[in-house]
Amino acid sequence: MAIRVPTLPLLPLRKAPWFVLWLGFGGLLVCIVGAATETLLSLERVRQDETEIRRAFLGRIRSLDQIRSHIYLSGTYVRDFLLSPDASGAAAQSSRLGSLEKQSYALLDGYSHLVDTNEREPFQALQAEIEAYWEVLNRMTAWTSDERNKLREQFFYDELIPRRNAMLQIADRIAAANERGLERAEGQLISASDGFRRTLVATFAITLGGGLLLAF
């Protein structure tokens, strides 16, 4: 008589452990890479904003300082022109004033592309004053030697000094507006940094949550 051996029921195949590990760690790596990428992009945006704001501010300050120096230098040339004892000396100073006028208008044109909204009104006032100033100086350089000797003192105190002081006061107003603009820009940078911090916290929270979910 043959002996029958009982057969055991077949158990369902278990999923390969490597697949579960690949899915879990792969998903976690994707979360980490995504968090790092978003962090780097946010940091780069903040850095670019800060660089642009400081570059624009320094460009405006540099141009404004050059405009100021031209105003001071023009006063020196005018004084030398008025005190020139001969025609050749007066012609040399007149030529220097002509070159300085071209440089001044070039600086004004360059600054007009950098001017901030809050500076527009005082800048237009400065531009008008400088244009009127050079018109007066151009008329002055056409004087004869007798006219220079006769009118120089009155011109120096009644025309040159008041106009120069008015332009310098307007330049100071623009500089003050520049500083206020920088303060506003710094406030914007602080807000951007706060937003970056919140984005960073949220990104890491999402990454941590995704990692915990994959772990479970």
Within a domain: 181: yes
Q: Is the pLDDT of residue 10 over 50?
A: no
Q: Is 6 inside any structural domain?
A: no
Residue 215 or 159, more confident = 159
Residues 6+ apart with CB under 8 A from 92: 84
Query: Does residue 152 lie in a domain region?
Result: yes
Write the CB contacts of 13 (distance below 8 Å, at least 6 apart in sequence). none
Does any domain span residue 191?
Answer: yes
Residue 18 belongs to some domain of the structure: no
The verdict on residue 170 lying in a domain is yes
Phi, psi of 15 (to 5 degrees): -65, 145
pLDDT given for residue 8 in this prediction:
46
Look up the pTM and report it. 0.64
Domain assignment present for residue 140? The answer is yes
**How many domains are there within the chain?**
1
- Residue 99: its pLDDT value, please? 93
Q: Six-digit token pair at 140? A: 């002055």
Amino acid identity of residue 59, one-letter, is: G
Does any domain span residue 19?
Answer: no
Domain at 141, CATH number: 1.20.120
Task: Label residue 196 by pLDDT band (50, 70, 90).
Answer: low
- Reference 160, options 65, 81, 63; nearest CA is 81
> Nearest to residue 81, comparing CAs of 19, 147, 172?
147
Mean pLDDT of 131-140: 89
The yes-or-no verdict on residue 212 having pLDDT over 80 is no
10 Å Cβ neighbour count for 62? 14
pLDDT of residue 95: 92
Residue 178, classified by CB atoms within 10 Å of its CB into exposed (0-12), middle (13-18) or buried (19+), is: buried
Tell me which residue has tokens 């044109």.
Answer: 109
Q: Is the pLDDT of residue 210 over 70?
A: no
Question: What gap in Å lies between CA 118 and CA 178, rounded to an integer?
Answer: 8
pLDDT for the residue numbered 19: 65
Is pLDDT at 88 greater than 80 in this prediction?
A: yes
- In the predicted model, what is the mean pLDDT of residues 78-82? 88
Rounded mean pLDDT, 124-139: 88
Give the range of the structural domain holding residue 109, as residue numbers without chain letter.
29-215
